[in-house]
Chain A
């Protein structure tokens, strides 16, 4: 089987304006989808909840979504019989926690870091004032987990000492500018943009908090997978190739120019370039610092792209701190589908070498 008969060659894929939507955009622009016989239309969405509902409702075939999303669907859509499953983790890490400049400037230097400084600051605030508000992008997102972990690590109670709300990624910077929120945890390039527009300071990138945390996965509904197994395989193969392409750092410069375009992220290339170059931008024109592994994309030579039950279990254990989760959901991370993709790609490569 070197070429696939896709049941459904014309597909619509959903994504948000984020740097780690790159695998979809690169696969589209560089012809990886076509190589596997797929014609793909990409559709940009604003909010994770809307994207989720469109995917469940069949308005699209597949999407790049938050890794915990398929695992916690029962909690967010309690009456929904449909399931989301994934056979490919597209990327790990890619987020950061950013504080508003005014909050950051109100903090005193603390030897144990920004979170500890925030704890000290909270103790001096009057109890009757408006609580500090932080934003995440979805209730069950790595962002919420990272934010809660960061707060808890300094002894701040995420459920009582601060308020956590949900906002779409692309609205974070505007809400921070308006003072509606005091900080956020969001995917790139929105942290970099907040710093470059001088309204925020990055407190910590997500990868130093929780290394190699699965971030975005390719998801389809179970009924879609059952009806289109070969199309799904072709889709995973094309996207895994795009992820591997993104692992080659010399190629990321080309990716930046594509991502920056109006139809995709619609942001300055310099804003998108920072995290893809592993650069943590600093306020007031100070030199950036290095943050290795800010985006870790899937690669056939590593295990980052493999959705295992163990990874699902670890994510669920963390989500369980927010609300009780369903432990049977671990089967929605399909390691066997990932293995199938690897076998298929290798077989294809072998076949091509032979015919040459």
Chain B
């Protein structure tokens, strides 16, 4: 078997970096190093001579990789790359996933593409993970504000929990709004002490 492709990963999101690193290693790639910033990146590249450097497309640090071609035109290590395996589709999905990749001279796009695809998949699932975390947080916030509104209604109007819930629901339906919005308005209205 040929030597596995060596990879340098630069990512300032430690959780995502761990996900990508784990998958790459599991797939048999040689993960040389995982950096959280591009500080010392040029030095690392010169030292490790990676076949591929993977970096967040939004990271301004990636520009330092573009430097390599300027610093030394004969530099055998990374040349900027955005492979056209399967035409623009590959680039489009890499841009959507937020991955950019640089590969060493002499490697073919076909050979490095699977590694980049792994990174892309991990970037995507990290994105989903964050979105679902956000949703969970929103749901928690929503439940909290509704509970608070109910509590205030119960105390001020001297009604049962069930009646308070019913009031919120009716108000939401009548005003064509959500329970959350109505709850927010009630809390805002009722928490200001009566004059």
A-side residues, CB < 8 A to B, are: 46-50, 53-54, 56-59, 75-82, 136-139, 144, 159, 163-168, 171, 223, 322-323
Contacts and interface: CB of A to CB of B under 8 A. Distances in A.
Given A50-B58, A139-B70, A57 B88 contact: yes
B94 interface: yes
Contacts of B69: 75-76, 139, 322-323
Interface of B: 42, 57-58, 60, 62-67, 69-73, 79-85, 87-88, 91-92, 94-96, 100, 109
A138 B66 contact: yes
Nearest to A137: B63
B95 A47 contact: no
A167 B63 contact: yes
A127 B63 CA distance: 28
Q: Which 9 A-B pairs have the closest CB atoms?
A: A57-B95, A166-B67, A165-B67, A57-B91, A79-B109, A166-B66, A139-B70, A168-B60, A79-B83
Contacts of B63: 47-49, 137-138, 166-168
A59 B70 contact: no
A75 B68 CA distance: 13
Is chain B's binding surface mostly helix, strand, loop or mixed?
helix
A77 B100 CA distance: 12
A56 B58 CA distance: 15
A179 to B, nearest CB: 14
A79 B94 contact: no
A322 B79 CA distance: 14
B82 A56 contact: yes
B141 to A, nearest CB: 28
B88 A58 contact: yes
A57 B60 contact: no
A48 B66 CA distance: 10
A76 B68 CA distance: 11
24 contacts: A46-B60, A48-B66, A50-B58, A53-B57, A53-B91, A56-B95, A57-B82, A57-B96, A58-B91, A76-B80, A78-B79, A80-B82, A81-B87, A82-B84, A159-B72, A159-B73, A164-B71, A165-B42, A165-B64, A165-B70, A166-B66, A166-B67, A167-B64, A323-B69
B62 A47 contact: yes
Contacts of B94: 53, 57
A79 B190 CA distance: 64
Nearest to B108: A79
Residue picked from B63, B72, B79, B91, most chain A C-beta under 10 Å: B63
Contact of A57 (B42, B65, B85, B92): B92
A83 B111 CA distance: 23
B88 A165 contact: no
A49 B80 contact: yes
Nearest to B70: A139
Nearest to B95: A57
Contacts of A47: 60, 62-63
A50 B62 contact: yes
B88 A81 contact: yes
Contacts of A75: 69
A80 B94 CA distance: 13
Contacts of A53: 57, 82, 91, 94-95, 100
B64 A166 contact: yes
A49 B79 CA distance: 13
Nearest to A58: B92
A49 B70 contact: no
Nearest to B99: A53
A142 to B, nearest CB: 14
Contacts of A59: 92, 95-96
Contacts of B82: 53, 56-57, 77, 79-80
